[in-house]
Amino acid sequence: MNNKLKLSLLGGLIMVVLLVVKFSINNNQPTVTLPEAQAQILDREEVVNIESGMTFSTITEQVGLEDSLMHELLEASQDEYDLSTVRVGKPIKFYFDRQTGEFKKLVYQIDSEEELFIEKNGADLWQAECKQIDYEVRLKTISGTIDSSLYQSAVEQNVDIRAIIALADVFAWTVDFGMGIRVGDTYKFIFEERYRDGQYIMPGKILAARFVNDGKVIEGYYFEEGLDEDGELIDGYYDPDGISLQKIFLKNPVDFKYISSGYTTGLRYISAFDISTGHRAIDYAASYGTPVRVVGDGQVVYAGWNGSYGNFVSVRHNDTFTTNYAHLSKIYISYGEKVEQGEIIGAVGSTGLSTGPHLHFEMVKYGTKINPLTVDLPSDKAVASENLDNFKQSIIQWQEQLKN
């Protein structure tokens, strides 16, 4: 047999072997690229961004769900979340089988913390469940020196405004951000940034913060003590000794422009009304309609018209303190109603004997009006004694980071 014939037969044999191997592979493991495989597995997703005027009924109709199925979903979710109250601006996601078009699942983000899932259980019945959103949390540290305001200083560093507001809330009872900020005050805080699918979503909790206000160092640390007997989380912000930063009263009841009239015990002559009187209150000049917040928990003991005070609200906080809010344009609460610290109870106005829109704010202690700006307000909260050692141990790392 000559060499050419041998080479020809050998080449043919190799081709046959390759064809057999290829046939075997194709019959046992079909060749499918990764994107094609994913397309076969994943459901089809339709997202509806809820707009004004939309209802759950119109939303489900838009994505092609039958009316009977819409009612089944409403019924399945009623113990977890009322889908008839879906909110404008929120997305609601529907998932369908890519091959058959059959509806498989609904996902609705209730708020920043929870999502509602509705899908069939093992018994082939629709079942709803609220789940905590699993964010990726990254820590961020920001520090700065104030030239004009905390807000401006932080914005210049591209800090999410929601984080700035949260920081101000931490120190709301200990720092007067309206009148007490000084040029040269410094701050440093460590907080969470929440990410989802690699995208920044929002700031999370402030974990530790340090504020130097007019030379006074104020620190705050977030701490969770556990659950109370009702299953509610016991948490808050505390100073290094475990005393809560949350005082019984807020520093200010309103976001104001300036104090138009301070606390005086002498006589004051108002020419417009030919009246002489002392001014045992603080007048906060603010725009008409600015929300007025109650400075502490309590019960409304007066809500209505009160002569020269105009629209007037009085809140009894305990056996010691009562606070009064006058010249309101609107009143949002009623006599006898329980109110919580920070709750909006009215709006700035100029009713009664008033020369312009402002809030007339009085603080009464044991029946005597006192100066709200100078009273030393105590805290009624602290870390429980059995948790104090854990608290002090947990803040060591934060204290070191805030000092560096």
pLDDT at residue 266, rounded to an integer: 52
Give the CATH number, domain containing residue 144. 3.10.450.350
- Given a cut of 70, whether residue 79 has pLDDT beyond it is yes
Each residue's pLDDT tens digit, 43-75:
899 999 999 999 999 999 999 999 999 999 999
41: confidence class by pLDDT, cuts 50, 70, 90: low
Tell me the per-residue pLDDT of 227-274, one tens digit each, with 9 for 90 and over.
Answer: 888 888 899 999 999 999 887 788 788 876 556 554 455 544 444 444
Q: Are residues 196 and 164 in the same domain?
A: yes
Q: Are residues 231 and 291 in the same domain?
A: no
**Same-domain check for residues 266 and 358:** yes
d(CA 264, CA 326): 17
Examine the domain organization and report whether 153 and 123 are in the same domain.
no
User: Which CATH number does the domain housing residue 364 bear?
Assistant: 2.70.70.10
Domain that holds residue 180: 136-238
Domain assignment present for residue 390? The answer is no
Percent of the chain residues topping a pLDDT of 70: 82
267 and 366, same domain (yes or no): yes
Q: What is the pLDDT of residues 114-145, one digit of tens each?
A: 999 999 998 999 999 999 999 999 999 999 99
The predicted pLDDT at position 10 comes to 46
Residue in 163, 319, 174 with CA at minimum distance from that of residue 243: 174
User: 384 lies in a domain?
Assistant: no
- Number of C-beta neighbours around residue 130 at 10 A: 15
Give CA–CA dist 400/404, Å, rounded.
6
Q: Is the pLDDT of residue 201 over 50?
A: yes
Task: Choose between 23 and 66: higher pLDDT.
Answer: 66
Looking at 176, 209, 238, the residue that finishes a domain is 238
pLDDT in tens, 353-377: 888 999 999 999 888 898 887 776 6
Same domain, 205 and 262: no
Please determine, for residue 213, whether its predicted confidence score (pLDDT) is greater than 60.
yes
Of the candidates 85, 104, 132, which is a domain's last residue? 132
* Same domain, residue pair 61 and 158: no
* Domains in the chain, number: 3
Backbone angles phi, psi at 162, to 5 degrees: -65, -30
The last residue of a domain, from among 76, 98, 132: 132
Give the tens place of pLDDT for each residue, 269-325.
444 444 445 567 889 988 899 999 999 888 999 999 999 999 999 999 887 789 999
Q: How far apart are CA 243 and CA 379, in angstroms?
A: 7
Cα–Cα distances in angstroms (integers) from residue 221 to residues 139, 157, 159, 316, 396, in the given order: 15, 23, 20, 30, 10
Interatomic CA distance for residues 184 and 215, integer angstroms: 9
User: 198 — phi, psi (to 5°)?
Assistant: 80, -5
Do 149 and 220 share a domain, yes or no?
yes
Per-residue confidence band for 165, with pLDDT thresholds at 50, 70 and 90: confident
Regarding whether 263 and 286 lie in a shared domain, the answer is yes
Amino acid at 389: D
Same-domain pairing of 329 and 228: no
Helices marked H in 29-115: 34-41, 56-62, 67-77
pLDDT on residue 102: 94
Residue 395 lies in a domain: no
